[in-house]
């Protein structure tokens, strides 16, 4: 028996945060919170399998999806570039069609976002974006779950993003536009987020500001978050980026401009002494370990909704 095809059951994908309506997104967060606290014990993935394609390496993404699928009663199957014919030039549509006959969902972590879009176009099963160079929706959903765990409803809160306008910044912009919280993005010139995400935020009247001064961004923020200055694939730019981002380090002095109750987030791995000081990431305002754990819970909720037909 092959996995259910799109003709038999219309399926949904999670390529970006806005793939769910705002109401569905908050329902997803509520489901993840029930999973986090142990209030949800169903196993909606019993007898189902997730294929995990990793064109980029990972610690948190692999472990959280693998463990999460298992906890929901399913199985997860790791495929590296050496394990899939994609790494040897097989067309994405062929891989999509074949895996759709074997498994009930695919999580992919890769470089080009268009590859994920194409995979979703030709697969007859749900596709989950585990990360692309354009967006990182699972991580930002985990971050929002963490904000709500510590500070309550994210609506009405102010989030400050400090540093590179990378895939994380793009997904934060999309989340703020979609869910209705304030976002202040502080980036050096030449490292702005993707223009399409900024344009959508402006068109929809979202409370999203692009700034150059990190102190201005952090002023009275409820959440301060950052990422490494050079992501995977940018290692050769490390020295150039270290100069560009020198004034964008999150240290105790910068955190002092935020609310006293502010929390610090980092998607990890972190480079202490570069984008954040040890004083902050290992300090009392840091909730990065809860944030890392919450990848498990939000991704379980996503899999339950997409693969397990759990209503939102």
Active site residue 139: yes
Exposed/middle/buried for residue 30 (C-beta within 10 Å: 0-12, 13-18, 19+): middle
Q: Which listed residue (109, 184, 241, 266) is catalytic?
A: 109
Active site residue 109: yes
Closest CA to 227 of 262, 195, 269: 269
Other beta carbons within 10 Å of 282: 12
Pairing label, strands 182-186, 208-211? parallel
Active site residue 184: no
- 25 labelled ligand-binding: no
Q: Which listed residue (11, 36, 62, 136) is catalytic?
A: 136
Q: Residue 292: helix, strand or coil by DSSP? A: helix
- 267 labelled ligand-binding: yes
- 58 labelled ligand-binding: yes
- 136 labelled ligand-binding: yes
Exposed/middle/buried for residue 269 (C-beta within 10 Å: 0-12, 13-18, 19+): exposed
- 80 labelled ligand-binding: no
Other beta carbons within 10 Å of 12: 13
- 268 labelled ligand-binding: yes
Active site residue 136: yes
Q: Which listed residue (13, 143, 164, 227) is catalytic?
A: 227
Active site residue 34: no
- 232 labelled ligand-binding: yes
- 138 labelled ligand-binding: yes
Q: Which listed residue (13, 36, 133, 139) is catalytic?
A: 139
Helix (H), strand (E) at residue 37 = helix 22-37
- 10 labelled ligand-binding: no
- 155 labelled ligand-binding: no
Place of tokens 């899999």: 303
Sequence ranges of the binding site for carbamoyl phosphate: 58-61, 85, 109, 136-139, 267-268, 295
Annotated binding-site members: 58-61, 85, 109, 136-139, 167, 227, 231-232, 267-268, 295
Q: Residue ranges for the binding site for L-ornithine?
A: 167, 227, 231-232
- Catalytic residue numbers read 109, 136, 139, 227, 267, 295
């Amino acid at each position: 028996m092959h996995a259910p095809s799109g003709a038999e059951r219309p399926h949904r994908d999670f390529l970006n945060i806005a793939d769910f309506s705002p109401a569905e997104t908050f329902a997803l967060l509520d489901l993840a919170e029930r999973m986090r606290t142990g209030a949800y014990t169903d196993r909606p993935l019993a007898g189902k399998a997730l294929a995990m394609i990793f064109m980029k390496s990972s610690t948190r993404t692999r472990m959280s999806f693998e463990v999460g699928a298992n906890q929901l009663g399913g199985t997860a199957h790791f495929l590296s570039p050496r394990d899939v014919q994609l790494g040897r030039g097989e067309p994405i549509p062929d891989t999509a069609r074949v895996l759709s006959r074997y498994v009930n969902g695919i999580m992919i972590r890769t470089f080009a976002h268009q590859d994920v879009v194409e995979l979703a176009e030709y697969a007859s099963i749900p596709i989950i974006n585990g990360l692309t160079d354009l967006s990182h929706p699972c991580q930002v959903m985990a971050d929002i779950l963490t904000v709500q765990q510590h500070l309550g409803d994210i609506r009405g809160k102010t989030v400050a993003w400090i540093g590179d306008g990378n895939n994380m910044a793009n997904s934060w912009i999309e989340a703020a536009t979609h869910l209705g919280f304030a976002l202040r993005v502080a980036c050096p010139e030449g490292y702005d987020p993707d223009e399409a995400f900024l344009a959508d935020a402006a068109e929809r009247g979202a409370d999203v500001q692009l700034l150059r001064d990190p102190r201005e961004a952090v002023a009275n923020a409820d959440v301060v978050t950052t990422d490494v200055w050079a992501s995977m694939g940018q290692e050769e730019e490390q020295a150039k980026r270290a100069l560009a981002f020198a004034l964008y380090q999150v240290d105790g002095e910068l955190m002092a401009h935020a609310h006293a109750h502010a929390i610090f987030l980092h998607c990890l791995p972190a480079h202490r002494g570069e984008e954040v000081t040890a004083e902050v990431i290992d300090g009392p305002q840091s909730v990065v370990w809860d944030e890392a754990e919450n990848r498990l819970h939000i991704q379980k909720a996503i899999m339950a909704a997409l693969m397990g037909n759990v209503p939102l």
